[in-house]
Structure 1
Amino acid sequence: MSDQNIVLGDPKVEAVLERLHHAADRQILQLVLHYLPQLPRLLLGQGIHWNPARTHFYRDKYIPIERDQGQLLYLLARAINAQTIVEFGTSYGVSTLYLAAAIRDNGQGKVIGTEIIPEKVIQARKYIAEAGLAEFVDLREGDALKTLQDIDGPIDLVLMDGYPHLALDILRLLHPQIRPGGLVISDNVGTFKTALNPYVEFLQAPINGYRSSTLALKGGTELSIKVG
């Protein structure tokens, strides 16, 4: 039995997740070839250069959280008894499944996800329904700066996994609603180091009300807690 099975304990959800993780794994060669010209930047620790004008490359790419990140999301959401989770960048719904499983196991609540690519929204909803978690997910299609404007009540956990150039704007939008003790978990802070540097600096500056640390998961996962 794998560690993932031990964490989630739901064969239906696990089966969908494994299928999606394997589909993402099959895209690794495309990603390697796409990023190969930026190998010197990676070797120098600068991360991949993010070009907002070339987001079309990501329209059919999974680029999901990895399995260990998903397990961490599930456990953290359970540990704080999260009832309202916001996800910036749903893609095909891999991370959504981990979060929705935690919401279900906590007894109530919603994952409010947002995804700008319509084709990904259709597929994500299909996978979420297949896993039996549709009632725990509110997936919104469109620009996150608009779809996340009307969230009521305190936010317990935020997953930031969308386009890097929007991360800080999204955080500032959600900041007033994130409760004290709420978590912000951010993917790709090592992969897109330069683009996400202002965002990480914001989280790591105590004056902004967070305590934050970069974890060695997927080249850099920022784990932050709102303390003020």
Structure 2
Amino acid sequence: MTPTNTLEDPRVSASLDRMFRHAEQDEETSRRARAALPQGSAPLGPQEQADVNAEVYMPISAQGGRLLYNLIRAVRPATVVEFGTSFGISTLHLAAAVRDNGTGRVISTELSAAKAAAARRTFAETGLDDVITVLEGDARDTLAALTDPADFVLLDGWKDLCLPVLRLLEPRLAPGTLVVADDVDLEDLAPYLDYVRDSRNGYQSVTFPVEDGMEISCRL
């Protein structure tokens, strides 16, 4: 019997290939978006950043996606919580693992209405929409209504919000829960990293060297 790997489903692999190709233009797309802003404008808030970057993919790496898939397959979480859907590259990796586990669901959050709509279309096209729920809006609001335990957490939204989102979810994190944050090299993630790397805050944390780095923290 051939083992099941939904990442190799033609619908899923084609969608991932398409989005990774588009993401190769992120630097140019982001440059145009910044250039369109009025000179001397005030720093942007989360919603304004989301609107300005509505065409920027900001994906995890292909290796990072496979790492997430493997972690989900091994941990077999009932509820996966993702902060930062974007166009859905990381979400597809999470959902493919959930599908292959035969149990679980993915709850993802996205501040950009345009990205949330595009991601939902992709999830429907790949046949994974039945295991994915996209909560549109500020994750600090949408995840506040979460009542079930968060059995696995991926933090890949705005880096300065990763720590507030983690603190919001902490009452729902059982001992042994894995929390993964992407892009450890980004300065805005520093307060989050300082927090999870301090064992007094209840985590054992390790940096996994994939692309820009992923911080994998175990709730103690």
The two structures have a TM-score, normalised by structure 2, of: 0.86
Cα deviations by residue, 1:74-100 (Å, 9 ceiling, x for unpaired): 000010012210010101111110001
Tell me the equivalent position of 1:105. 100
8 Å CA contact retained: 1:83, 1:106: no
CA distance in 2, matches of 1:154, 1:6: 26
Counterpart pick for 1:196 among 185, 189, 198: 189
Runs of 5+ consecutive residues of structure 2 not aligned to the other structure? 35-42
Q: Does 1:151 align with 2:150?
A: no
Tell me the equivalent position of 2:110. 115
CA distance in 1, matches of 2:65, 2:81: 15
CA distance in 1, matches of 2:110, 2:121: 14
Cα deviations by residue, 1:55-112 (Å, 9 ceiling, x for unpaired): 2542220011010000000000010012210010101111110001111111122110
One-letter identity of the residue aligned with 1:20: M
Residue pairs, 1:159-174, within 5 angstroms: 159-174=154-169
Residue pairs, 1:1-228, within 5 angstroms: 8-31=7-30, 52-53=44-45, 55=49, 56-190=51-185, 192-193=186-187, 195-227=188-220
Deviation at 1:31, TM superposition (A): 4.7
Instruction: Indicate how the Cα distance of structure 1 residues 34 and 119 shifts in structure 2: closer, same or farther if over 3 A, else same.
Output: closer
Cα deviations by residue, 1:119-170 (Å, 9 ceiling, x for unpaired): 1111000001111000100101111111001222221111101111211110
Between the two proteins, the alignment pairs up a number of residues equal to 206
- SS of the residue 1:82 aligns to: coil
CA distance in 2, matches of 1:107, 1:150: 26
Runs of 5+ consecutive residues of structure 1 not aligned to the other structure? 36-50
Identity %: 41
CA distance in 2, matches of 1:207, 1:73: 26
One-letter identity of the residue aligned with 1:124: A
CA distance in 2, matches of 1:80, 1:6: 16
